[in-house]
Amino acid sequence: MIRFTNVSKTYKNGTMALKDVNLEIQDGEFVFIVGSSGAGKSTLIKMLLHEEVPTSGEVEVNGFKLSKMRRRQIPKFRRSLGVVFQDFRLIPTMNVYDNVAFALRVTDVPTRDIRRRVPYILSLVGLGSKARCMPDQLSGGEQQRVALARALVNNPRLIIADEPTGNIDPELSYEIVDLLNEINNVGTTVIMVTHEHDLVAQFNRRVLTLEHGHIIADDQEWRQ
């Protein structure tokens, strides 16, 4: 579960990016986060990832109370979630297989498990035949599916996708969200930040709207 309790964030330059945010997301939910530029969406995601800490209030993610988390718990916490970014963040010198396997190698997963797990995840995202390709030989949509495979390979309870379709053609964007939808259908919690209202309207999911650091709407589905 995710819980924000009276969370505010003021950056060093005095900008108040989040103002007294209260929020609960249950395990297994799919939540879109929308809002105009500067509304606080990225700040909220940074709080979830423990990249920034609140100025006041408490954030709890997957059973970790982030303000009380010890430094040595951070790797375990990070493994409980998978992250997908707008700019894919693949390693350009590694092929598709190694980009995904890398996420397992750094956590000392045995090689035989990696050899089983990576092809399975790649076929899940529809890239079984592209394992030996380099990232620059793939379309934007395919690169984002590699990033999604990498986020999924550790079997996280939670996927956080920050504008995952921002660099992808609109017709391929639907595919990415559809994949996230399928992943959610087998039990993984999904949180996705997006600007694309048309995309949100195609999936009947919970929508949180941020404005000037406040949650101004929490709808069970999108209403224009």
Ligand X SMILES: Nc1ncnc2c1ncn2[C@@H]1O[C@H](COP(=O)(O)OP(=O)(O)OP(=O)(O)O)[C@@H](O)[C@H]1O
Helix/strand/coil for 23: strand
Q: Quick check: 35 binds ligand X (CB under 6 A)?
A: yes
For the chain, the straight-line distance linking the first and the last C-alpha, in angstroms and rounded, comes to 28
Q: Do strands 2-10 and 56-61 pair parallel, antiparallel, or not at all (unpaired)?
A: antiparallel
Residues 23, 2 contacting (CB under 8 angstroms): yes
> Least distance (Å) from ligand X to the CB of residue 214?
12
Q: Any residues with CB less than 8 A from the CB of 118 and at least 6 apart, and which? A: 97, 100, 101, 104, 131, 153
Number of residues that bind ligand X (CB under 6 A): 12
Q: Quick check: 17 binds ligand X (CB under 6 A)?
A: yes
> Least distance (Å) from ligand X to the CB of residue 41?
3
Q: Quick check: 11 binds ligand X (CB under 6 A)?
A: yes
Cα distance between residue 93 and residue 99, in whole Å: 9
Q: Quick check: 140 binds ligand X (CB under 6 A)?
A: no
Chosen residue from 6, 15, 26, 204 binding ligand X by CB under 6 A: 15
Q: Which is nearer to ligand X, 37 or 93 (CB)?
A: 37
Residue with tokens 């929308």: 34
Q: Quick check: 139 binds ligand X (CB under 6 A)?
A: no
Name the strand (E) or helix (H) holding 212.
none
Helix/strand/coil for 217: strand
**DSSP classification of residue 213:** T
Q: Which is nearer to ligand X, 40 or 54 (CB)?
A: 40
Residues 134, 95 contacting (CB under 8 angstroms): yes
Q: Quick check: 37 binds ligand X (CB under 6 A)?
A: yes
> Least distance (Å) from ligand X to the CB of residue 204?
23
> Least distance (Å) from ligand X to the CB of residue 89?
16
Chosen residue from 41, 130, 150, 205 binding ligand X by CB under 6 A: 41
Choose the binding region for ligand X from 31-39, 111-119, 174-182, 196-204 (rule: CB under 6 A).
31-39
Q: Which residues bind ligand X (CB under 6 A)?
A: 11, 13, 15, 17, 35, 37-43
